[in-house]
Structure 1
Amino acid sequence: MSKSAKQGSLLVALLPSVILYVGAIVLLALTRESLGGTVHYWEIFVAVVAVISLLSGWGQTYAANRSYLMYLIKQFIHWGLLIGVLWMFQTQGISSALGDQKYTLVLLYLLSMSAIVAGLYIDFKALFFGAFMAICTYLLAAPANVSILEPIGKTLRIADPQTKPLTMIIVMGVIAFVAGALVLISVRGSIMAKRSRA
């Protein structure tokens, strides 16, 4: 395979993560302006995350010699449960009882925790996305507690990070994306090594 073909296939492999992080950052920016006004977009985004998660773990499954069928079953159960819980919230009046603002935060925390759990036992890249979403959701839920940004800003040499929450969200998104990309590159290396041995 030529060098340009390898680079092209790496870019194609990174595209789902790019969509995931760009979509999350855009929605987080909109949610900062109107916490309850973006709830329907987040509901759609949960389905997008589920599809991307389903597609992005195939390589890791192959590299680890795991069953594709078990991978699919785990993914469908995992994301199906989250979507089922959100559907129950809608149909049983829980979302309207909470109100759009609180329901948006509940949805984001559920998405964060689901991504973290998926990262722990299905696809490690999802762990970084889940951690990113958890920190961002905390910032949305408790905007007065932006002091959490101080150590991150100090580490990254960003002055007054508390006054720049959107900038910090973008920076944290880029860091999480890079960490996930490194895992992807590692998995692709394992796949190429496995194919060369075969």
Structure 2
Amino acid sequence: MTSATEAVRAARFYTSARRLPWVIGKFADWRLPLGPYNGVQVAVMSLGGLLLVKTASWWWSLLGPVPVVAWVAVIFICRRQKVAGRTPVGAALGVATRIAQPAGGRIGGRAARDRRPAALCGGFTLQGLDAVAPPAAPAADHGSTRPIPAAPATASAPASPAGPGPRRPLSPVQAALLATKADS
């Protein structure tokens, strides 16, 4: 039975991977000289050493031991280097993936691309404008009360397709087309 006054025990288990970062050169209690080294330091050591050995005939007569000292300094600088809170390898991978991204971004894991342009084709039909009179225009503010001529009614005008009944008012485009037709 547990009582309300009994303290709750908490147990925590830590692995060495959580307590120590990934390092190279630490074996039990023995360490490499000036070590342990992280992955970036090992890469700088190996690639820089290879580069210095292959080009030693070129730079030794000009610079002496300066490149070797610079190489050791870069190895030391890479020990705890962070770029915006990330390791240099992670930052370099982030930059590389950003450069490799398509310019338009991605949608659902695929490169987002604009669709090919396509021509839009269409048409329109004007129906029954011959028998319809244009609406009366409002009088101008200048005080002119000039009458607006109405379209002449003809007996040969075709019947409206909708049959007899109330007509919709004309739109300004229909009225302009009707006025143009009446003038000609």
| TM-score where L is the length of structure 1 | 0.25
Q: Give the structure with higher Rg (CA).
A: 2
Higher strand share: 2
Q: Higher relative CO (CA 8 A, sep ≥ 6), structure 1 or 2?
A: 1
User: Which structure is higher in helix share?
Assistant: 1
